[in-house]
Amino acid sequence: PVAGVRLAARRTVGNNQPSSLGFPALSDTQGSFRLDSLTPGKYSIVIVPQPGLEVRTDSPVPFEVVDQNVTGLLVQTARGLTVTGAVVLDGDYDQNILAKLAELRLSAYVRSSTPNPIFGRDTTLSSDGAFRIGGLSPGTLNFSISQQDRREAVGFTILRVERDGVVQPRGVELKDEQVSGVKIVVSYGTGSVRGELKFENG
């Protein structure tokens, strides 16, 4: 049994397209969970990422509510993949900019061929820009950066992502392995461009 896993039900609408999540629940010490107040329809159970929990499920668990309660659902989990590396600045900057870099939040998103929903896993950076993100599934990994409060990281832009010195233009491929040596190179800009937009010929 896996305790402390946050689960949610995702309703399936027309053409088997998933809708938003709802009815969240937390598994207890026996791994049991209960989702209440579901109306009739087709659903799937997914694991919602949360800090400190690095398990994943390889596929959502489908079920259907008709006219009675649904029991006996089994969500099988596996230990998620981890990625470690560092976020570094491109070029030379003063200590004030380096300090701002350490205040950023790094998010990772995995796209795969399985019907898993795309969730972001995020983490803060250490003072030297190092990071570790766990609980990931196999697929293509891409990154984004933001402020700690998830607002846009003003001035910072990801230029490229490298793995062991090799640029990964389409993202880092995750297989059944733990990945290290990832470098996320960012730039910092303070310049602005001002101009005027004109319509010609009406």
pTM exceeds 0.85: no
Tens-digit pLDDT string for the chain (202 aa): 999 999 999 888 776 665 667 778 999 999 999 999 899 999 989 888 887 788 888 778 999 999 999 999 999 998 889 999 999 999 888 888 888 888 899 999 988 766 555 667 889 999 889 999 998 888 899 999 999 888 888 889 999 999 999 999 999 999 888 899 999 999 998 788 899 999 998 7
For residue 196, give both structure tokens: 């005027």
Q: How far apart are CA 105 and CA 126, in angstroms?
A: 10
Helix (H, G, I), strand (E, B) or coil at 191: coil
The pairing of strands 156-163 and 104-111 is unpaired
140 contacts 109 by C-beta, under 8 angstroms:
no
Helical ranges in 5-160 per DSSP H: 95-101
Beta bridge partners of 8: 46
Closest CA to 49 of 105, 103, 107: 107
46 contacts 38 by C-beta, under 8 angstroms:
no
